[in-house]
């Protein structure tokens, strides 16, 4: 009679470095209207729900219509499933958002966001009246 001993194995998956083609972008003005003076959150995640290590070399830059370039801080979100970046849109017009991983543009980047002017809300407006210059008499 043979007796088999129970064997318990543990399997750990190790991922190599993430590459630009494995990145998924969401938010950030990709699918929503954006008005000037607002900040929009961009989510940067890996494909296939791959966990992130927190040491990925991500760079996010917003280029305004005036060609002013603004680097944006990128932070690892809760649960290590996505990075988050708060994109500032201060001007009206077409902005370009660049997202790079290890100096290589990620899939879907750069992308453009058309930023609209904010609508007026009369109760928040201040009306200032300036007297007209005096006219000389003929």
Residue 10 lies in a domain: no
Give the domain range for residue 26: 20-119
Average the pLDDT over 12-20 and give the result.
66
pLDDT band with cut points at 50, 70 and 90 for residue 29: confident
For residue 41, being part of any structural domain is answered with yes
How far, in Å, are 30, 50, 73, 90, 120 from residue 36 at the CA level? 15, 34, 20, 5, 12
The number of distinct structural domains making up the chain is: 1
- Note whether residue 49 is domain-resident: yes
Q: Report pLDDT digits (tens) over 95-107.
A: 999 999 999 999 8
CATH number assigned to the domain comprising residue 90:
2.60.40.10
Q: 3-class SS at 71?
A: strand
Give the per-residue pLDDT at 93.
Answer: 93
pLDDT digits (tens, 9 = 90+) for 105-124: 998 999 999 999 887 656 66
Position 134 in a domain? no
**What is the Cα–Cα distance from 40 to 87, expressed in whole angstroms?**
5
Residue 136 lies in a domain: no
Q: Does residue 104 lie in a domain region?
A: yes
């Amino acid at each position: 009679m043979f007796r088999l001993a129970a064997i318990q194995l543990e399997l750990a998956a190790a991922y190599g470095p993430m590459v630009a083609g494995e990145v998924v972008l969401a938010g950030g003005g990709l699918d929503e209207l954006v008005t000037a003076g607002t900040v929009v959150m961009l989510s940067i995640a890996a494909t296939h729900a791959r966990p992130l290590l927190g040491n990925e070399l991500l760079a996010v830059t917003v280029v305004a219509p005036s060609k002013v370039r603004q680097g944006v801080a990128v932070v690892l979100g809760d649960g290590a499933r996505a990075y988050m970046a708060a994109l500032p849109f201060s001007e009206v017009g077409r902005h370009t958002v660049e997202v790079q991983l290890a100096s290589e543009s990620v899939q879907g980047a750069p992308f453009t966001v058309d930023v609209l002017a904010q609508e007026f809300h009369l109760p928040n407006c201040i009306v200032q009246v300036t007297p007209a210059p005096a006219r000389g008499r003929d």
